[in-house]
Amino acid sequence: MKKIFIILIFVGLATSIFAQIPEGFSYQAVIRDNNETLVKSQTVAVKASILRNNEVVFTQTLNAVTNDNGLMTLTIGGTPEFGEIDWTHGPLIIKTQIDPTGGDNYTIETTAPLLTVPYSMAAKTAEKALNVPDLDNLLERINNLENQIEELYSLIGGFEPRDVPFTELELGDCEWKSPLDPENGLPWEWDEPCNTYSLVVINNYEELIQYVNCFGDAELPSINFDEFTLIFAYGVECNYTLPTYIEVQRIGYKNYVMKVNLQPGDPAVITPWQVPILVEKLESGSNVELIVTREIIEDERVELNFEDYILNENCQWINLIYDYEIFDNAKILIINSNEGVENYINCVSGNFSEINFDEYSLIIAWGVANNGIHTIEKKITQTDDLLYNLDVTIELNCLEVMQEWLITILIDKLSNATISLTTIIINS
């Protein structure tokens, strides 16, 4: 009698979880006799069973024909009973009994774990449990359930705000309409006060074109409004200009907030501003609130060390022009050579203490205060590459007297640098 060995079993299903899910899977085996001879081109009978905890949950009798290489291929399943298997509870075992003569005398038996239980079968089981026709509808129901939970949390005040990613929209050759253009600009009333703002939510090109001017051959940028929503905030300011900080948060079900912070500007100039951003498609009926703040956000500045430079008793500073009519018109300069220092120093006898300008730079700042000076504090910070700032805080003693002030300090060498001066006046 022939002894048949199953030396390869392949159980698998190559499908996408979004595709039609077949009620069956492929099973293959190579069959040899006890002499290791392939059983070729022969009809064999197979009884296939699926077991859970040694209990049969499905059984099926099939016939297959081996090919010239002794390979048997068949599909297990395809019956209503197969479709009722609960694939979400395991482990499951595949048991095969084979009669090489094609009858019902199953002389060969083998078992193997279903390590590749088709995940699509498990998804199918989930679909039936939830009574949905396909996985797309299942995902939609999950999304709707999530929205209902968010809505409930919003009602009871338990929703945790979360940041919404966004990208700023570039118009290319087109430009945003200005709220300061009464004929062809954004909706705005000229009698409205400064420091006012507005926001619109745009979901199609018909809405977008109301806020954009394209001249000549310029075209609107390509936006996939099926996946994105455009939030457009704009306003008019009298003493603030460009936005320095933008944030979008989801604060509840269909509720969002957009925060824009503006930096100080010229109070004598009326300045329009616009902030267009793209976010992932908002739910229909979503509300977006605009919050505009006007806070000075400090840059990440590096504070630098310095030391005061004191002249000899026989020397004094010259050629520093003090403007007694403009009390806050302070001035500043950087000197990087002893020859440059000589232009601002006069010594009655002797010479001034020379500075090692290979290692240091001299900074001179001066101005006039009109209420008498009590104290002066100073700080130097680096704001960017080759950009520096000297902060001078002057506390006045409230005496009606004009008083000059002068600061001379040494700092590590500044080459090709630019320095600005900020004066802060405090009345004591």
Evaluate whether residue 353 is within a structural domain.
yes
What are 301-318's pLDDT values in tens digits?
A: 678 899 999 888 888 898
What are 88-117's pLDDT values in tens digits?
A: 676 788 898 888 888 888 888 888 777 555
Q: What CATH number corresponds to the domain at position 95?
A: 2.60.40.10
What pLDDT shows up at residue 5? Answer: 47
Q: Is the pLDDT of residue 232 over 80?
A: yes
- pLDDT bucket at 17, cuts 50 / 70 / 90: very low
Asked whether residue 99 falls in the same domain as residue 37, the answer is yes
Distance separating alpha carbons of residues 57 and 95, to the nearest angstrom: 11
What pLDDT shows up at residue 63? Answer: 92
Evaluate whether residue 86 is within a structural domain.
yes
Asked whether residue 167 falls in the same domain as residue 243, the answer is yes
Evaluate whether residue 156 is within a structural domain.
no
Asked whether residue 21 falls in the same domain as residue 58, the answer is yes
Distance separating alpha carbons of residues 26 and 387, to the nearest angstrom: 71
Evaluate whether residue 362 is within a structural domain.
yes
Kindly state the percentage of the chain with pLDDT values over 90.
17
The residue out of 127, 149, 179 marking a domain boundary is: 127
Asked whether residue 307 falls in the same domain as residue 327, the answer is yes
The residue out of 274, 293, 312 marking a domain boundary is: 293
Distance separating alpha carbons of residues 382 and 379, to the nearest angstrom: 10
Strand order in the sheet with 240-252: 162-163, 240-252, 255-264, 287-293
Question: How many domains, the chain?
Answer: 3
Distance separating alpha carbons of residues 48 and 109, to the nearest angstrom: 10
What pLDDT shows up at residue 281? Answer: 92
Asked whether residue 278 falls in the same domain as residue 171, the answer is yes
What are 170-181's pLDDT values in tens digits?
A: 888 888 877 666
Distance separating alpha carbons of residues 299 and 359, to the nearest angstrom: 27
What pLDDT shows up at residue 177? Answer: 79
* Torsion on CA atoms 116, 119, 124, 129, rounded to nearest 10: 100
Q: Which of 152-156, 235-239, 250-254, 258-262 has the highest mean pLDDT?
A: 258-262
What are 323-375's pLDDT values in tens digits?
A: 766 555 688 999 999 888 888 998 887 778 888 999 999 999 988 887 777 77
The residue out of 293, 319, 338 marking a domain boundary is: 293
Kindly state the percentage of the chain with pLDDT values over 70.
73
Q: Is the pLDDT of residue 410 over 90?
A: yes
**375: alpha, beta or left, given left = phi > 0 and alpha = psi -120 to 50?**
beta
What pLDDT shows up at residue 257? Answer: 93
Asked whether residue 321 falls in the same domain as residue 281, the answer is no
When pLDDT is averaged across residues 388-392 and rounded to a whole number, the result is: 85
Asked whether residue 205 falls in the same domain as residue 112, the answer is no
When pLDDT is averaged across residues 32-56 and rounded to a whole number, the result is: 84
Evaluate whether residue 142 is within a structural domain.
no
Range of the domain at 45: 5-127
Asked whether residue 285 falls in the same domain as residue 242, the answer is yes
Strands 387-396 and 418-427: parallel
Angle formed at CA 254 by CA 249 and CA 256, multiple of 5 degrees: 25
Evaluate whether residue 359 is within a structural domain.
yes
What pLDDT shows up at residue 19? Answer: 37
Question: Rounded to two decimals, what is the model's pTM?
Answer: 0.39
Asked whether residue 108 falls in the same domain as residue 169, the answer is no
Asked whether residue 48 falls in the same domain as residue 89, the answer is yes
Asked whether residue 281 falls in the same domain as residue 311, the answer is no
- 185-193, long-range: CB < 8 A, 24+ apart: 186/211, 186/234, 188/236, 192/236
Distance separating alpha carbons of residues 321 and 298, to the nearest angstrom: 32
What are 114-137's pLDDT values in tens digits?
A: 755 554 555 555 555 545 455 566
User: CB neighbours of 353 closer than 8 A, spacing ≥ 6?
Assistant: 311, 312
Tokens for 6, please give them.
């199953």
- Average pLDDT, rounded, for the chain: 77
Q: Which amino acid is at 384?
A: D
Tokens for 165, please give them.
């990613």
Evaluate whether residue 65 is within a structural domain.
yes
- pLDDT bucket at 387, cuts 50 / 70 / 90: confident
Evaluate whether residue 157 is within a structural domain.
no
Asked whether residue 412 falls in the same domain as residue 306, the answer is yes
Q: Is the pLDDT of residue 320 over 80?
A: yes
Distance separating alpha carbons of residues 57 and 92, to the nearest angstrom: 9
